[in-house]
Amino acid sequence: MEDIRMVDVTHKEITKRIAIAKGKVRMKKETILLIKEGKIEKGDVLKVSKIAGIMGAKRTFELIPLCHPLNVSWVDVRFRIDEKENCVEIEGEVHTSYKTGVEMEALTAVSLSALSIYDMCKPYDKSIVISDIHLVKKTGGKGQVDRTQIDID
């Protein structure tokens, strides 16, 4: 186990860091309508899923073994219902000023939001698929990522 270790970021400078991730939850058209009409028994799917995503981003270091604990400055989770594709598109954005990036926190926000949607809608739809979770943008530090022009969405 000596080959497993957390990366030492002691020498890195504190910079403003932002990460944006996206994902999709595909489902039947009828399930999309239930979400839109607020007819899911457990409650407002998108509100609950937003809270799940925010909570997940803040607790990422407890879920991913070698992820650094860091203070998250801001988290937002946004949704768009795409009735043509029968899916809920999720976008998670996380900000911090720290020595390491927040891409894992943004990906976790999207993942937990998607899992929450799945959990709330599974009694109505056995065909739900979570897909396309990916990092879209990362700024701050040395490594920059910007897939906004070539996004798979």
Domain ranges of the chain: 15-142
Q: What's the CA gap between 20 and 100, in Å, rounded?
A: 15
Q: Is CATH 3.30.70.640 the right assignment for the domain spanning 15-142? A: yes
**Active-site annotation holds for 8:** no
Give the pLDDT of the chain (153 residues) as one tens digit per residue. Answer: 578 999 999 998 899 999 999 999 999 999 999 999 999 999 999 999 999 999 999 999 999 999 999 999 999 999 999 999 999 999 999 999 999 999 999 999 999 999 999 999 999 999 999 999 999 999 987 777 777 755 444
Catalytic site residue from 119, 132, 146, 151: 119
CA 41 – CA 22 distance, rounded (Å): 26
pLDDT at 89: 98
Q: What is 65-82 written as a DSSP string?
A: TTPPP----EEEEEEEEE
